[in-house]
Structure formats: structure tokens, C-alpha cells
Structure 1
Amino acid sequence: MSCQIIKDKKILDTECQVIVNPVNCEGIIETQLHQDLNKIYPELEEIYKQKCEEGFITMGSIHLYKNILFFPIKETQREPTKLENLEKALKCFMRTYEALEIKSIAFPNLTHKISKELIALIPSLMLTSLNPCKALTFIYLE
């Protein structure tokens, strides 16, 4: 299946089974999406911090909680997102989504705190990496 780009809808309105929540590995919330997801799942912040402390949320790994996929894209909140970290996270997803029984997934815009030079590369990286995915895959560019 191929990825679909969604430009005119909010990711929280998706009907996908899973929503990707891009995170850092130190347990500090920094995106509006994460704050919005905390309103839906009040326990999410504590689960996220606990998983970071236990070493489950690391670069090159992903962690599924209910229908939220913790998707580490940087070590700390202060550092910018690096292209190689996005590649690691996308590769990990592609290796594990079938075992996690993910049938449909919504990715947010992954350009949070990334250098302007790299922003233009992200959509093509995502499309190339996710195109072989058998799950319905949507990339929200709201």
C-alpha cells in the first residue's frame, strides 16, 4: 500500500487504529500533539515518563501504548531532530508494525525542531520509508 498525505484535517480526527506521537527519550513533553493526547489519555504523561526511566524509549525503538505509538526522534528536548534519528525510528516501525498488529496508522508532521535545511527532506524520507508498509498509512501535514 502507499502512503497518503493529508493536508486539510487534524490528526486527532483520524479513524486510524494508531496515532504516532513523536517524543524525546528523556520523558519531557514538548509537542502540542502530545499535550492533546494527554487530554484523551490522562495517564499518558506518567506512562511516557515511566517508559523513558525504564529504558524502553530509546533511539531506534518504538513503544505502543493503547493506540498511541511513542516514536523517539531525539535524545533530549533541547537538541534538534536529526535526519538519522528519523530514519532509525522509521526503520524500527517498518520492522515491527506487523508484530504489533498495526493495520492503519497516522503520522504527524515530523519536522518539529528540525533545521530549515532538512525540513524539505522529511516528506520524501517518510514516503520512501513507509511506502512498502502494508498498513494503511497517512501522513498529516496540518
Structure 2
Amino acid sequence: MLIYRRTSLLESSAQTLVNTVNCVGVMGKGIAKEFRDREPQMYAAYRRICEQKLLRPGKLWLWKGSTQWVLNFPTKDHWRNPSKLEWIEQGLQRFVSGFSELGIREISFPRLGCGNGGLNWDNVQPVMEHYLAPLKIQIFIHDFDKKIGLPEHLEHVPSILAGEIDTAPSYTEFLSMLPRAIELAGPNFIDLSSHERLSAEYDGTELRLSTPNVEWAFDAEDLWGIWVSLQKGFLTQEKAGWAAFESGSALISLLALLPFVRLIEIQRFGDAASELALELAQPATSIAPADAQSTEQMTLQWH
């Protein structure tokens, strides 16, 4: 499944992140520089690989970290030269042929070869979609970063709730925050997509959400399923509303009031319109290897 995710790639919770690189060992600008600063061990290994002239356009190098993996994807030969669309296509072909064997099941891509690479996104996008859209794993393309916030009249809700919890909440604390969020939102609670007025009630057993025209009910099993999905780092309206038809937008609107999530914009491949989703709001963590001395990290995983 291909989804456009309007956030920074480095904030993605995906299993694997794609880092665009050249083949001479320089990570001086753009997303590559961010990875260099964040992962000095990976950068050192990358320089050694480039010195041995093992990395070329069309070859890919996978760095397996303890929390996330990084797929180093050459879009340039030399850092001074522009990217070429044919190199993007060669790399994508290699990815398609090798991702399953490597165990990649979820991955975030940037706009390959654009920005410092000089390619036009209008030319790159259809190539990426051609190769990535048919794949049966979760694929995100971070085409741009768009900040989505709560309406001004609801901004106080997560701020107050954040002061009432000390650590990352447990499932029990998550449930306890629901009635408190509803109370703090009061009559100003709305569907963040349709802007329709919403009403909500949680009695400790069942959550009820309603608009003037429809009402949904969610029992303990439904709420547990929502919690589990959210803990994976990313929650869409489709996943949120699996238990009740067309309830996803209303549920996202309620959960967006909680202090440990943030609203993001996504757009599914093939859909004309974007939609709101949620991801866990957490600081970026290091993705250094579990064993920094492992020689496995110093070699190409496929080429």
C-alpha cells in the first residue's frame, strides 16, 4: 500500500528509512547530512564502502539498526553532479527485486533525486509510483512536510492533559484520558475533517460518539484494537474506524486531543483527496546498530 505522508521522513516510525546518497562518501547536504549527524557509525561504514568503490547507482546498501533500518539509495555518482532519472529507476528495480528477501516490510521514501539532486518531482513521481504502488508492503512517500494543528479553541486540551501524566501512558491511562479530554473540549468538540459538531461520552465501558445524524458505539475490545494500532506509530481513519462504519474521522478527532499523538496529513495512492491521520509524538531516537562491531553492517546487503 502506497501512502503519501506529509511529515519529515526522519520523524517516520516506519521499519526502514531511505537515505539518498552519492557514491564518493560525502553526506554534506539535505537528508543525507541529517543521517550523517544522527548516525556517525553508519556514516563511517558508508565512507569505507565508497573508498572501495562498492556503491554505485543501481546498488543499494541496507544498514540494520536496533530500532530502525536505513536503506542507502544512490541517486548521484558524485556529489557535485546532478541525479539522473535512470539511476532512480535502476535503484527502484533493485529494491523491488530484493526487499522481501531482506525482510523489509514497511519503508519511508523521500522524493528521490529531487532537491539537491536537481530532478523535477513531476518526472520522478510517476516512476516511483510505477514501481512502489503494486507492492504488498506499507510504503510511505514523504513528498512535503505540512504542519497540522488543532483548532485554536481546542489547543488547551492536550496541553492540560500533558501536565496530568508523567510518562508515556499505559492502556489504562489512555482510557482514563478519554473522559477528561471530552470534558475539556466541552461544546467545542468538532470533527476535524468535516467541522461538524460532535458529542462524546465514555462511561468506563463504552465510548459513544455522535453527530446530529449518526451515532457510533465502541466497546472495550474496539478500544483495545485502536490502542494497539496507535502503538504501532501510525493510525489512519480506516484503521480507527474498523469497528463502526464511517466512524474513523470522528475517532481521529477525539484521539487528536491526547497529548502523546499529533495530527498529520496523508494521501493514499489513487485518491484525489487527502485525509487526517495520527502518529505518535515522540522524539527521534538513534538507529545505530545493536552490535556496532558487527562486520555485517560493513558490507552491502545486496548489489
How many angstroms apart in 2 are the aligned matches of 1:68 and 1:10?
15
Q: Distance in 2 between matches of 1:17 and 1:56?
A: 25
Q: Which residue of 1 aligns with 2:27?
A: 29
* Map 1:1-142 → 2, pairs under 5 A: 2-7=1-6, 9-66=7-64, 67-110=69-112, 111-112=114-115, 113-115=117-119, 118-142=120-144
Describe the SS at the equivalent of 2:108.
Answer: strand
Counterparts of 1:6 and 1:114 in 2: how far apart (Å)?
Answer: 22
Give deviations 1:20-66, integer Å, cap 9, x for gaps: 00111111113321222233322122111111122331121101012
Could you list the runs of 5+ residues in structure 1 that have no partner in the other structure?
Answer: none
Q: What is the rounded CA distance, in whole Å, between the counterparts of 2:110 and 2:60 in structure 1?
A: 15
Amino acid corresponding to residue 89 of structure 1 in structure 2:
G
Count residues with an aligned counterpart: 138
**CA offsets per residue over residues 80-122 of structure 1, 9 Å max, x none?**
111101000111111110111000000012213224xx33111
Greater RCO, 1 or 2 (C-alpha within 8 Å, sep 6+): 1
**In 1, distance between residues paired with 2:53 and 2:137?**
27
Which stretches in structure 2 are left out of the alignment for 5+ residues? 145-303
Asked whether the 8 Å contact 1:56–1:63 carries over to 2, the reply is no
Larger Rg over CA atoms: 2
Runs ≥4 in structure 1, deviation > 4 angstroms?
A: none
- What is the root-mean-square deviation in Å for CA atoms of aligned residues? 1.4
Give the residue type in structure 1 aligned to 2:87: N
How far apart, in 2, do the equivalents of 1:27 and 1:48 lie?
6
Letter in 2 for 1:3: L
Which residue identity is paired with 1:88?
Q
| In structure 2, distance between residues paired with 1:14 and 1:133 | 19
Secondary structure (helix, strand or coil) at the match of 2:102 reads coil
Q: Which amino acid aligns with 1:53?
A: E
Letter in 1 for 2:24: E
Cα 1:135–1:30 change in 2 (3 A) is farther
Distance in 2 separating the partners of 1:31 and 1:80: 13
Question: How far apart, CA to CA, are the structure 2 residues paired with 1:82 and 1:32?
Answer: 17
d(CA) in 1 for partners of 2:19, 2:45: 13
Separation of aligned partners in 1, 2:90 and 2:103? 20
Question: SS of the residue aligned with 1:97?
Answer: helix
Give, as a single letter, the amino acid of the residue that structure 2 aligns with 1:126: M
